[in-house]
Amino acid sequence: MIQAVLKRRFYQALLFLRPIIYLLLIGLAILFLVWFFYRLKPLFKFVSVINPAITQINSSRDRVNVLLLGMAGGGHPGADLTDSLMFVSLNLLTGDTVLISLPRDIWVESLKAKLNTAYHFGQLAQPGGGITLAKAAVSEITNQPIHYAAVLDFSGFAQAIDVLGGLEINIPREFTDKEYPIPGKETAEPASARYETIHFIAGHQRLDGATVLKYVRSRHAENEEGTDFARAQRQQLVILAFKNQLLSTKVLLNPAKLSRLKTVVADSVQSDIPVNAYPDFFKLLMRLDRSQIRTGIVDQGSESEEIPPLLYHPPDTLYGQWVLLPVNNNWQTVHQYINDLIFQNQAIVSSKIGRYLAFGV
* Residue 309 sits in the same domain as residue 171: yes
Domain around 4: 1-50
Is residue 294 within 8 Å of 98, Cβ to Cβ?
yes
* Residue 36 sits in the same domain as residue 124: no
Separation between Cα atoms, residue 259 and residue 256, nearest integer Å: 5
* Residue 198 sits in the same domain as residue 237: yes
Separation between Cα atoms, residue 79 and residue 89, nearest integer Å: 27
Pairing of strands 175-181, 167-171: unpaired
* Residue 108 sits in the same domain as residue 255: yes
Q: Residue 12 pLDDT > 70, yes or no? A: no
Is residue 201 within 8 Å of 210, Cβ to Cβ?
no
Global pTM value: 0.74
* Residue 92 sits in the same domain as residue 18: no
* Residue 148 sits in the same domain as residue 82: yes
Q: Within a domain: residue 234?
A: yes
Q: pLDDT (tens digit, 9 = 90+) per residue, 250-296?
A: 888 888 888 898 898 888 889 999 999 988 998 888 777 766 788 88
C-alpha closest to that of 69 among 163, 113, 132: 132
Separation between Cα atoms, residue 137 and residue 117, nearest integer Å: 10
The chain-wide mean pLDDT, for the chain, equals 81
Three-state SS at 299: coil
Give the residue with greater pLDDT, 38 vs 96.
96
* Residue 71 sits in the same domain as residue 21: no
* Residue 2 sits in the same domain as residue 111: no
Q: Within a domain: residue 57?
A: no
Q: What pLDDT is stored for residue 55 in this prediction?
A: 86
* Residue 38 sits in the same domain as residue 87: no
Query: Residue 146 — pLDDT band, cuts 50, 70, 90?
Result: very high
Give the residue with greater pLDDT, 21 vs 229.
229
Domain CATH for 304 = 3.40.630.190
One-character DSSP codes across 54-121: --SS--BTTEEEEEEEEE--SSSTTTT-EEEEEEEEEETTT--EEEEEE-TTBEETTTTEEGGGHHHH
* Residue 102 sits in the same domain as residue 171: yes
Give the residue with greater pLDDT, 342 vs 50.
342
Q: Within a domain: residue 58?
A: no
Q: Residue 107 pLDDT > 90, yes or no? A: yes
Q: What pLDDT is stored for residue 338 in this prediction?
A: 95
Q: pLDDT (tens digit, 9 = 90+) per residue, 193-227?
A: 889 999 999 999 999 999 999 998 888 888 788 88
C-alpha closest to that of 54 among 98, 88, 92: 92
C-alpha closest to that of 274 among 173, 148, 358, 180: 148
Q: What pLDDT is stored for residue 232 in this prediction?
A: 80
Enclosing H/E stretch for 169? strand 167-171
* Residue 198 sits in the same domain as residue 151: yes
Q: Angle at CA 156, nearest 5°, toward 151 and 159?
A: 150
Phi-psi region of 297 (alpha: psi -120 to 50; beta: other; left: phi over 0): beta
Tell me what percent of the residues of the chain surpass a pLDDT of 90.
Answer: 43
Q: pLDDT (tens digit, 9 = 90+) per residue, 79-95?
A: 789 988 999 999 998 88
Is residue 139 within 8 Å of 129, Cβ to Cβ?
no
Q: Residue 154 pLDDT > 60, yes or no? A: yes
* Residue 225 sits in the same domain as residue 288: yes
Supply the angle between the helices 154-164 and 209-217 in degrees, to the nearest 10: 130
